[in-house]
Structures are given as C-alpha cells and as structure tokens.
Amino acid sequence: MSTSGTVGGGKYDVVVIGGGPAGYVGAIRAAQNGLRAACIDAWENRDGQPAFGGTCLNAGCIPSKALLESSELFHRAGSEFALHGIRVNPPELDLSAMQARKARIVSQFSSGIQELFKANGVTGLVGRGHLLPGNKVRYTPRGGKPELLEAEHVVLATGSTPIELPFARFDGEAIVDSWGGLDLAAVPGRLGVIGGGVIGLELGSIWSRLGSQVTVLEAMDRFLFMVDGQIAKDAQRQLKKQGLDIRLGAKVTSAERGPNGVALTYEDQRGRHSVEVDRLIVAVGRRPNTEGLLDPLAGVKLSDRGLIEVDAECRASAPNVWAVGDVVRGPMLAHKGSEEGVMVADLIAGRYGHVNYAVIPSVIYTTPEIAWVGQTEEQLKEARIDYKVGTFNFAASGRARAMEQAAGLVKVLASTADDRILGVHIVGPMAGELIGEAVVAMEFQATAEDLQRTIHAHPSLTEALHEAALSVDRRSLHAINR
C-alpha cells in the first residue's frame, strides 16, 4: 500500500472520477483503508448548484422513491382508506409541496455525502476529471483553470446518461428524460412513456396514481423480459388493473410535437398506430458516460457498446486504472456499483475484495413491488439445470391481508441435485425488502431446507418466503400442496 501522495501537492493514492454511488462509496472506502483519496464530480442540479451523489441521488433512485411514496399515499387515500373505515373527503393534490419534499430529501442526502467525505478524510473536488497517460488526471474545477493531479491509482466511475431517440429529442418540456419525468410541475392529462422497462414503469406509476392517463409503449413482445415469466405475468395483470395501458411489441417510429402535445406513431404486429399525449417520457435505457473522459493515449479500451472494458475485479486495460458502476459491464444498479467501488478500494489497499455477481438483487418499485435475485425459471431451463419450484400467494398471508395488499406471490427455485437455492422471485408488498433475506440466504449458499427450518415472525410478510421454501418440497402449511 502506497502512501506517497500529499493532498497539498495534488498527489493522491487514489483519484476517483465520478461521485455517484460507485465513486463516492469507493472513495470513502479508500480513505478508510488509509489511502489519500480524492473524488471529482461535475454534477450540477437544475438550480446550477453542484452536488455529489450522481444520478441515483439527484435524479434517479432517491427522488423517484420519494415521489413513488407520496403518489402511493395519495392514491390509497382516495381509493383504499374507505375500506379501512376511514372516511376522507376526496384527497387534494398539492404537487408543488410534494415536489418540495422530494427536493428536501435529495439535498439532505447530497450534503450528507460531503459530511461523510469530511469525516473520512476524502477530498471532494467539484469539476471535471480527464484521464491522461501515466495515471495523471487533469482536473478542471468548476469555473476554474485546469490542474494536474497525480495518482497511484485512478478509478473511473462516471456513470451513465439516458439514451435519446433520434426522432424524439429531449426538449425539457413536452419530451423529457427520466430526470425531467420526475420534475413535472403539473400532472399531465395524457402521459406517454416510450420503454416499458424499470424507469418507464416506475415513472408511469407515479403519474398514473396522481391522475394521468398513462400509455406505455414497449418494443419487446414479452413484458419485463429479464423478470421470471410467471412473476412478470402476474405483475402485468396487476399494473393493467391499476389503469396502466401497457402496449407490448410496440416499436415507436416517430414523435411529432404539435399544439396538442406529442403525436406518436408506433408499429406492432397488426400494423401502424398513432397515440396523442400531452407529455412524453423517453426511458429506453442508458448509455455509459465516457465522453471527454479519456485521453486516447491513456490506454483505456472501450467495448463496442462504449463500456469501459474491465476484468472480473474491475481492472481497466491501463495499469492501475480501474472502472466501476454503470460505465462497465453488468446491471446498471446503484448497489452493484457501490460494491464494485468497495472491492476496488480494498484491492488497491492490498486487502481482500470481491463482488458476487451471481447474487445481486433487483427491485422495481411499482405497486406491488417486483424483486428478484439469482436465476429465473427460463434461465434454468435454458441452462438445463434441474430445479424444484415452490410458490406461495400473498392472498394467504395474514399480514398482507391486513395491509390490504394481498396480491402477488413468492417463488423459490432450488436445485434438484442438492437443494441449493438458485433464485427467488417476488411480486407483492415490500418485495424490495423481502428479497434481502433471499440475498443473504443465497450468499451463504443456503438450501430450501435451510429456509424451511428458519423461524419467521408471525404475522409477517417474511412468512410468505418461508412458505414458498416449504412448497419447494410440497410441505406448505398454509396452502394446499399440489
């Protein structure tokens, strides 16, 4: 472990470029490991203020969860409270107060990162970083002149940006990206969403609950192709019931702005169709941010898809250069990026570092939530792995019924050969929290029997996972074993 750098001289052991969940977490861990660490970030919020935390904190995970919570409460107040015997006048929406709450949460978390930097001894640098040959970084402070930083190791963590469709350019008004889709100042009467992926469904849900008629146009024929088929089918049915108009196999070919909003044309198996919407959110995936990041002589290779090429431990193709998070292969998930940041900071310090790519949880924060870890039934079939299936419906969960959220199911897939849990898939209440138990179980290579013999509190939603594990061996206690 080197300690050659000095902060004052612009020399560091580790310079991280990018201050999102991969970069800022990596910088904190590097400092905890006794390394002199700096983290450069260029993010500016709409008010022109710089902020650490990247897309996740400023324009993604955190603000979307704030609005998902608020819009869900609004919706339930209007549609469900009466069932509980609570009479309210039709609830009234104060969207600007809702947005202000969201903004407060975001700004608290962003200043929290600065405090964590201070407490751990990370130097936070506001501005742009550019990798030069020989592990030098050109740092251009916001509004200032470029400086040269020397680093023993450089970690690239510049994240990703929404993909723009050539025929539907973002204009910040009628056609917006996912950030713009969180910042709408009024509820659109008719909202169009191109892309029925994670972002499309989460943003579509928010505005649908607040009163928009939402149409989601998804090019693929299969709903949520990455989700276990049985779970995806159940989720699709539930979202449809809520009023989301999800059109599959719908490839959008044009989006014309006009006085009445945006006229969309799409093609499906039956021909060409048009839809008119007031606002359009484009959520067709994200691309890695590498523009202006790399000197051609720095020796860092990119893949065909523009991702920084790395090995299993996130080493890029130049010596002592590493890359983590959305800018490298693997799912674009904040927690995957953070774990890569930690692994790299530990490896640089000469410690043990590892990311278990086979056990990364995914969550889609619709209502009900959709969450999974490990392999789907389709993947196991394709890989010709023999498996057992256990399921349990939330309809038989006392806690879910009391919560008025008794739709959905838990599904456990276990190896026929040795009972090891191969995948857990949930659509239902708090699925994003419940999946944590499955992640721990799989991390410890648990079998279905291990979960069967683990005591779960009653009444709790976790019992659904317990029962699904019992069902793997047709030993369910609160469902009929078939």
Q: How far is the CB of 388 from ligand NAD (least distance, A)?
A: 28
- Type of residue at 133: P
- 283 or 410: CB nearest ligand NAD: 283
Q: How far is the CB of 160 from ligand NAD (least distance, A)?
A: 7
Window contacting ligand NAD (CB under 6 A); options: 25-33, 234-242, 363-371, 453-461: 363-371
Q: Is 239 in the site for ligand NAD (CB under 6 A)?
A: no
Per-residue x/- marks for ligand NAD, 128-167, CB under 6 A? -------------------------------------x--
Comparing CA positions, the residue from 354, 349, 352, 351 lying closest to residue 313 is 354
- 253 or 356: CB nearest ligand NAD: 253
Q: Among the options 425, 458, 466, 478, which is catalytic?
A: 458
Q: How far is the CB of 177 from ligand NAD (least distance, A)?
A: 9
Can you tell me which of 364, 431, 446, 465 binds ligand NAD, judged by CB under 6 A? 364
- 424 bridge partner residues: 373, 412
Q: Is 194 in the site for ligand NAD (CB under 6 A)?
A: yes
CA dihedral 386, 198, 307, 33 (to 10 degrees): -90
Q: Is 354 a catalytic residue?
A: no
Q: How far is the CB of 124 from ligand NAD (least distance, A)?
A: 25
Q: Is 220 in the site for ligand NAD (CB under 6 A)?
A: yes
Q: Is 176 in the site for ligand NAD (CB under 6 A)?
A: no
Can you tell me which of 176, 182, 217, 373 binds ligand NAD, judged by CB under 6 A? 217
Instruction: Give me the DSSP letters along 5-51.
Output: --TTTTEEEEEEE--STTHHHHHHHHHHTT--EEEEE--B-TTS-B-
Window contacting ligand NAD (CB under 6 A); options: 99-107, 189-197, 345-353, 467-475: 189-197
Window contacting ligand NAD (CB under 6 A); options: 36-44, 215-223, 234-242, 342-350: 215-223
Q: What residues between 305 and 334 interact with ligand NAD by CB under 6 A?
A: 331-333
Q: How far is the CB of 448 from ligand NAD (least distance, A)?
A: 26
Helices assigned H by DSSP within 192-269 = 198-209, 229-241
Q: How far is the CB of 203 from ligand NAD (least distance, A)?
A: 9
- 126 or 246: CB nearest ligand NAD: 246
Q: What residues between 269 and 308 interact with ligand NAD by CB under 6 A?
A: 283-286
Secondary structure class of 204 (helix, strand, coil)? helix
Per-residue x/- marks for ligand NAD, 33-72, CB under 6 A? ---------------------------x------------
Q: How far is the CB of 202 from ligand NAD (least distance, A)?
A: 6
CA distances from 359 to 6, 225, 237, 386 (A): 38, 19, 28, 19
Secondary structure letter of residue 90 according to DSSP:
P
3-state secondary structure string across 320-336:
CEEECHHHCCCCCCHHH
CA dihedral 196, 199, 202, 207 (to 10 degrees): -90
Can you tell me which of 195, 368, 374, 428 binds ligand NAD, judged by CB under 6 A? 195
Nearest to ligand NAD by Cβ — which residue? 197
CB 28 within 8 A of CB 116: yes
Q: How far is the CB of 180 from ligand NAD (least distance, A)?
A: 13
Q: Is 248 in the site for ligand NAD (CB under 6 A)?
A: no
Distance CA 370, CA 426 (A): 6
Q: Taking CA 243 as the corner, what is the angle to CA 239 and CA 248, rounded to the nearest 5 degrees? A: 60
Helices assigned H by DSSP within 80-153 = 95-120
Can you tell me which of 198, 380, 446, 451 binds ligand NAD, judged by CB under 6 A? 198
Q: Is 191 in the site for ligand NAD (CB under 6 A)?
A: no
Q: Taking CA 448 as the corner, what is the angle to CA 442 and CA 452, rounded to the nearest 5 degrees? A: 115
- Residue 448: phi and psi, rounded to 5, are -60, -35
CB 178 within 8 A of CB 284: no
Secondary structure letter of residue 91 according to DSSP:
P
Instruction: Give me the DSSP letters along 246-266.
Output: EETT-EEEEEEEETTEEEEEE
Q: Is 31 in the site for ligand NAD (CB under 6 A)?
A: no
Catalytic residues: 458
